[in-house]
Amino acid sequence: MSDDGGAAVATSPDAVVREVRVAARPETVFPFFTDPARMVLWKGVEADLDARPGGIYRVNVTGREVARGQYVEVVPNRRVVFTWGWEGAGSPLPPGASTVEVELIPDGDGTIVRLTHRDLPAEAQGAHAEGWEHFLPRLAVAASGADPGPDPWAAPRAAN
């Protein structure tokens, strides 16, 4: 992990690994990966989540780009694993083509969130590394009870 509490960086041949420390216990952080209302506080403009093995993981990340997969493993307050890819014809990483593993590691009064995104083709690693580097600090803010503010990557919402 970095000295400033930001995301640590590691890469393996087919995975992106990032860590961030959250000033909240694992039982507080866990729902930010399983509850749609909490998910959109840090990532996405809408979410459809059914956090059980075989359940849907679908997050409209920016208003234009939708990540979709299925939950593979859900261990409350400890671990979440789901498949991942992007909706849309011709996506270089179709839904379910890669796997995201999230480990929640107790660290005093806080939690180390270790995210490992596996099975990424080499050409997709950079963009996904950039994405997790953008979103994990937002998770750290939201899960600690603060407001990360509007996501600059999200498309502006149309006025009614």
Q: Give tens-digit pLDDT for 71-92.
A: 999 999 999 999 999 999 888 8
pLDDT in tens, 21-32: 999 999 999 999
| Sole residue written with tokens 């998770």 | 139
What integer pLDDT is reported at residue 90 of this predicted model? Answer: 85
| 101-110: long-range contacts, CB 8 A cutoff, minimum separation 24 | 102/33, 103/78, 103/79, 104/26, 104/29, 104/30, 104/77, 104/78, 104/79, 105/26, 106/25, 106/26, 107/21, 109/23, 109/25, 110/21, 110/22, 110/23, 110/24, 110/25
Residue 80: name the closest of 108, 55, 51 by CA: 51
pTM: 0.90
Domain ranges of the chain: 8-143
Please report, rounded to a whole number, the percentage of residues in the chain having pLDDT higher than 70: 89
What integer pLDDT is reported at residue 24 of this predicted model? Answer: 98
Looking at domain 8-143, does it have CATH number 3.40.50.10330?
no
